Structure 1
Amino acid sequence: MAVQVKQYDPTGKPISREAVSLFQNDAKKRGAERARELRAAVNTLVMPGQRSLHMKAEGGARRKVIADAVVALAVDVWVLDASGGSGKEHERRARALTSLLEQVDVVQAHLVFDRDASMEPFDRRLLSAVPPHRRPTYVHHQRHEEPLLALPDVIAWSWARGGEWRRRLDPLAIRIVEV
């Protein structure tokens, strides 16, 4: 599972990291084979000279190509939205991650977080408090280290942008969970 923890304003600018969008890597279906296919597909979208995909760094026409290509991959998506209610960034992130842990099969889950150095210690503390039999394995990677991190980035950016961008995601099976 690749996990992107971010919230965008309607113009597409990141305003905080309080909503979680995640990609399920079809581990129960084809596991590593499906992940390899998806990584290869994402890598075809990376332009010469780019290390990774990131929607905020792309131009309008290119964003459409990327969003459409991600939709064509037919991934299952959950958006855990912690933007409602009160609380500081860490509290909202804790609600989102706690909800995530309640909803996935943690015995089989391996979470790959988009690295945010300011949040890594918080994630480690939160996850270390989970009983060992319920704690998933996890790592924090830069986008260029794990191409699958592009998927939740594209989905979160498109979802938050709304309008045409959100409609582009319509073919995907998206499950929204407000936390």
Structure 2
Amino acid sequence: MHAFVDESRRNDTYYLAAAIVQPRDLARLRSRLRGLLLPGQRELHFYREKPARRREIVSRLVEFGATVRVYEASCRRSEEIARRECLTRVTDDLVDLGAHRLVLDSREIRDELDRSTISRALAKRLESGGLVYEHMNSAGDPLLWIADIAVWCHGAGSDWARRAAPLIGEVVRLDWP
């Protein structure tokens, strides 16, 4: 299985979302996601879309049968600490699931921090399961859009969270009192 990860932040809560995709579904989901692009668009970036279009996109994503795990942590101390906690847990969970590949939306110069976090998490495991990881620009793989959409909706709460609820397979809350 493959995981595609993106982030969001709302107030003092940091969210990391991992869209879990089976190898047999990779091509089908990429094709369907590209089919959602408007003329001239290179990628879907959910916060840039108008509300009516957002509703349409979420509905279609639910129809596609995507599944996302959301990891939440307080970022009162630091957003990077919250990301590190979430990414460590994502890495552990993916190894436990037998995942083969982890793709993270690139944060450019901060990607090295992610590589260090993932390397440390894998080094603590007796068996890493052969998990490979890389960073990619969100225009490079439409499957990153799934995590972006799901985490935006989840973090927005209210009606958006309700609409995206069928996408969210699990919510893991870290470091909460």
TM-score range, shorter chain: 0.7 to 0.9
Gaps of 5+ in 2: none
SS of the aligned residue for 2:102 comes to: strand
SS of the aligned residue for 2:108 comes to: coil
Which whole-Å CA distance do the structure 2 matches of 1:172 and 1:56 have between them?
18
AA in 1 matched with 2:82: R
What's 1:139 paired with?
134
SS of the aligned residue for 2:159 comes to: helix
Q: List per-residue Cα deviations over 1:62-90 (Å, max 9, x = no partner).
A: 11111111111122221011136x53111
Q: CA RMSD in A?
A: 2.0
Displacement after TM superposition at 1:173 (Å): 4.7
The count of corresponding residues between Structure 1 and Structure 2 is 167
What's 2:92 paired with?
102
Higher helix share: 2
* Matched-pair contact (CA < 8 Å) for 1:8–1:157: no
Identity of aligned residues (%): 26
Gaps of 5+ in 1: 10-14
Give 2:54's match in structure 1, choosing from 63, 72, 86.
63
Displacement after TM superposition at 1:162 (Å): 1.2
* Matched-pair contact (CA < 8 Å) for 2:71–2:173: yes
Q: List per-residue Cα deviations over 1:33-82 (Å, max 9, x = no partner).
A: 30111001100001111110001111111111111111111222210111
Which whole-Å CA distance do the structure 1 matches of 2:25 and 2:32 have between them?
11
TM-score, normalised on structure 2? Answer: 0.85
Which whole-Å CA distance do the structure 2 matches of 1:75 and 1:105 have between them?
20
What's 1:92 paired with?
82
4+ aligned runs moved over 4 Å, structure 1: none
* Matched-pair contact (CA < 8 Å) for 2:46–2:149: yes
* Matched-pair contact (CA < 8 Å) for 1:115–1:140: yes
Which whole-Å CA distance do the structure 1 matches of 2:70 and 2:145 have between them?
15
Mapping of 1:102-121 within 5 angstroms? 102-105=92-95, 108-121=99-112
Give the direction of change, closer, same or farther, for the CA distance of 1:108–1:170 in structure 2 (3 Å limit).
Answer: closer
* Matched-pair contact (CA < 8 Å) for 1:7–1:156: no
Mapping of 1:1-179 within 5 angstroms? 1-9=3-11, 18-26=14-22, 31=23, 33-83=24-74, 86-105=76-95, 108-129=99-120, 130-131=122-123, 133-134=127-128, 136-179=131-174
Give the direction of change, closer, same or farther, for the CA distance of 1:105–1:127 in structure 2 (3 Å limit).
Answer: closer
